């Protein structure tokens, strides 16, 4: 039924009523937008309260992951069991915050799972059934635990590998944030020394659809060279848009890249080396 990390809006139509849909749109108007219209039966997922927990940005970044037990219980409350097909979408081509939800589900071993390529706009254009108001979930028991911890890397590992030629560290933020010319969210600008920049939005075409795998593989090849995708660490500002790089890599057959969830918001607060330009 679901054979790729990405699914087209047209393919989604047959899954309405069969899969659990997660609406991961973000921003100050996200709740209102969801209540106005969403895929029929879709559950609203909040980046700040469902896909993150409150914490110290110096220890986990601005969007630290919730505990595994909390996440597994949340999935059960949404009616998600290991056999449940899950479709995630947002309003930004997967980067805010469908890819984060995708990564969190995949990290605990969930497999019938995909992100809608092109997101909410593509769904509307395809005529996918929608409704207004609030959808009600059909809770099941807490999702069975398959892993003991989140499969993330920490700042200590990034410090060890950032200059190792057999590894690659990739920053998903906008170029002006990477160079340190502009930093709207964190106390210091710049990037992790040794990191390469690949802005997550550069992976999308004008319609918010992911570029072809041929194009993306060529782009990643310029960064990776002969380095295996399993020795790639992706980060961003707070572990959200970096998941879009991981999604694109997985969709194009570049499996195994890892997430530094604390990302720049943690790194710059811990006194680690910083680079600019």
pLDDT (tens digit, 9 = 90+) per residue, 30-85? 999 999 999 999 999 999 999 999 999 999 999 999 999 999 999 999 999 999 99
Distance CA 45, CA 24 (A): 5
SS3 label, residue 102: helix
Domain extent at residue 41: 6-131
Q: For the chain, what is the domain count?
A: 2
Residues 259, 165 share a domain: yes
Q: 67 lies in a domain? A: yes
Distance CA 29, CA 265 (A): 24
Minimal CA–CA distance to 157: which of 242, 52, 272?
272
Catalytic residue (choose from 234, 236, 243, 252): 236
pLDDT for 3 equals 86
Q: Are 239 and 194 in contact (CB under 8 A)?
A: no
- Give the pLDDT band of residue 178 (cuts 50, 70, 90): very high
Q: What are phi and psi of 88, to 5 degrees?
A: -120, 140
Whole-number percent of the chain with pLDDT over 70: 100
268 is catalytic: no
Q: Inform me whether the pLDDT recorded for 1 exceeds 80.
A: no
pLDDT (tens digit, 9 = 90+) per residue, 242-270? 999 999 999 999 999 999 999 999 999 99
Residues 107, 15 share a domain: yes
Q: 210 lies in a domain? A: yes
């Amino acid at each position: 039924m679901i054979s790729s990390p990405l699914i087209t809006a047209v393919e989604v139509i047959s899954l309405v009523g069969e899969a659990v849909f997660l609406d991961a749109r973000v921003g100050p108007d996200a709740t209102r937008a969801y209540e106005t219209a969403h895929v029929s039966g879709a559950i609203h997922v909040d980046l700040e309260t469902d896909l993150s927990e409150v914490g110290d940005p110096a220890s986990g970044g601005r969007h630290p992951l919730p505990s595994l037990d909390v996440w597994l219980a949340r999935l059960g409350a949404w009616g998600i069991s290991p056999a449940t097909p899950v479709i995630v979408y947002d309003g930004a081509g997967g980067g805010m915050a469908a890819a984060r939800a995708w990564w969190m589900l995949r990290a605990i071993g969930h497999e019938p799972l995909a992100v809608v390529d092109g997101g909410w706009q593509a769904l509307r254009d395809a005529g996918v059934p929608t409704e207004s108001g609030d959808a009600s979930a059909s809770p099941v028991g807490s999702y069975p635990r398959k892993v003991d911890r989140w499969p993330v890397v920490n700042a200590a590992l990034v410090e060890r590998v950032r200059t190792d030629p057999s590894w690659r560290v990739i920053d998903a933020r906008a170029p002006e944030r990477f160079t340190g010319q502009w930093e709207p969210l964190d106390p210091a600008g710049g990037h992790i020394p040794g990191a390469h920049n690949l802005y997550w939005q550069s992976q999308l075409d004008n319609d918010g659809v992911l570029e072809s795998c041929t194009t993306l593989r060529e782009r990643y090849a310029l960064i990776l060279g002969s380095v295996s995708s399993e020795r790639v660490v992706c980060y961003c500002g707070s572990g959200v848009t970096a998941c879009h790089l991981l999604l694109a890599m997985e969709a194009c057959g570049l499996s195994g890249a890892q997430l530094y969830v604390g990302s720049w918001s943690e790194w710059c607060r811990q006194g680690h080396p910083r680079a600019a330009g």
